[in-house]
Amino acid sequence: MEIASTEYAAVTAYDELLDHSLKPRSAAQPFFDYLNSLDSDELLARREAVEATIMAMGITFTIYSEAGNIDRAWPFDVIPRVMGRSEWDPIQAGLKQRLKALNLFINDLYNEQRIIKDGIFPAEVLEGSVNFRKQCIGVTPRFGVWAHVCGTDLVRDKDGTVYVLEDNLRVPSGVSYMLENRQIMKRIFPEVFRTTNILPVDDYPTQLYHTLAALSPRPGDQPVIVVLTPGIYNSAYFEHSYLAQQMGAFLVEGQDLLVGVDDVVYMKNIFGLQRVDVIYRRIDDNFLDPEAFSPDSILGVPGLMRAWRKGNVGIANAPGAGVADDKVVYAFVPQIIKYYLDEEPILANVPSYLCMYPDQCEYVLNNLDKLVVKPANESGGYGMLIGPRATQEERDQFAKLIRANPRNYMAQPTLEISTAPTLIDGELAPRHLDLRPFVLQSDKLYATTGGLTRVALRKGSLVVNSSQGGGSKDTWIVEDTSC
């Protein structure tokens, strides 16, 4: 298989699989040896088999921006991202450290607020948070954990440093695609899995089940777990149904649940009412309970917050967990780790500028052509400015937005994020990518071995989201040859 050397010559980013001389890195060498044993026609035939498999398995995502809601086949690249275990282990430790500290931080904000009183975290950041829920004040969920499922986005800069780009603590998605990517690769390249020690990801549904089951208010009984979905028109509905099926949980919509006079949640079924112990909710806070949040919501369950506050049902992620899912809060995570754990952060943050501070705001406004500017609470790559690739008109418009609401914006230098060989028009061409591992916490901490690698399929693009033209790769963590 040919490497598009002309494209690689124009890229100065770190490549995950190839060194500067376009030779495979040690972790990727076994796969490239195998790849070289295939001729171009055979590899392309396997890619066609992948596409047929995706269609047959019904692996889709929904695009809202086009007329009507359009289901698209999941865009998948057959060249995996490969990393050695010796490099992955400290990353995994850093992910666990980060979520542990963030959960202590969230619990503190809704109770004593010691971190504010001690002058570590600014009160004005909390006051400007759109995801702080007053309805949660005074609550400490089971184990003191609010964010039970976290999807942390990682990127690697051109010097090889791995950075945390953001934490997704509300309703993080994508894990089903990580699991399906692996199943597809096992079907297409079974020979490689027989000869290479690729660490598994298949235990995630079991780990998720145990994480949720630990939240049950009836620990002595077999818990009744439901996955609460907005319905079939949600872009992540495939994932909701997939995880419910994998865990043996019930897939429900708000209309399938009710809260009784005893402040207990019940599920309606053909036999009557069945008590629900744990809700893995995949809808936003504002739609969870029309009594507590948006009164016109038809997606949630009236009285759900009462049941949760009284400890009669576990909810993951807990309402209010999104207070830490804020790109301004993100800038304080190193201090949060030091404050609650008395440890140095294992994983680095991308250097950040907060527009709420006048001197930093002025720097951002004067350097919009060099920076990436992000709103505090958007996701999916929306609402951001990539300064070097924006027009002057777009930068001027963003300057107005920043001046109108500086608390809502932060900025970071434009990283030259890493690339990996991707099969484009029959050649292996460099495409930028990120990585979203998933971390679970209740009575225990667990992090996936690898995660969902998202890749920008357009040449030169830094936007990896599937809704904006991105795709994905399987992520292989392999035992180092020296082990």
Mean pLDDT, the chain, integer: 92
Tell me which H or E stretch contains 452: strand 452-456
DSSP lists the bridge partners of residue 410 as 354, 374
pLDDT at 435 over 90: yes
In CATH, what is the architecture of 88-161+200-341?
3-Layer(aba) Sandwich (3.40)
| Residue 289 token pair | 């309970």
Residue 384 to residue 323: CA distance in whole angstroms? 20
Give the containing element (helix H, strand E) for 168: strand 162-168
| DSSP single-letter state for residue 199 | P
**Res. 67: pLDDT tops 50:** no
Across residues 225-232, what is the average pLDDT?
96
The pLDDT score that the predictor gives to residue 60 is 63
Q: Where in the chain is the domain with CATH 3.30.1490.270?
A: 351-413
CATH 3.40.50.11290 in the chain: give the residue spans. 88-161+200-341
What torsion do the CA atoms of 335, 341, 347, 348 make, to the nearest 10 degrees?
10
| Contacts (Cβ under 8 Å, ≥6 apart) of 123 | 116
Contact 416/456 with Cβ under 8 angstroms? no
CA-wise closest residue to 482 among 29, 18, 162, 95:
29
Q: What are phi and psi of 288, to 5 degrees?
A: -70, -40
Pairing type for strands 162-168 and 348-349 reads parallel
User: Domain 351-413 belongs to what topology?
Assistant: Dna Ligase; domain 1 (3.30.1490)
Tens of pLDDT, residue by residue over 93-145, are: 999 999 999 999 999 999 999 999 999 999 999 998 999 999 999 999 999 99
Contact indicator for 333, 98 with CB cutoff of 8 Å: yes
Do the beta carbons of residue 381 and residue 327 sit within 8 Å? Answer: no
Integer Cα distance of 71 and 22 in angstroms: 37
pTM (two decimals): 0.93
Convert the pLDDT of each residue in 22-38 to its tens digit: 999 999 999 999 988 98
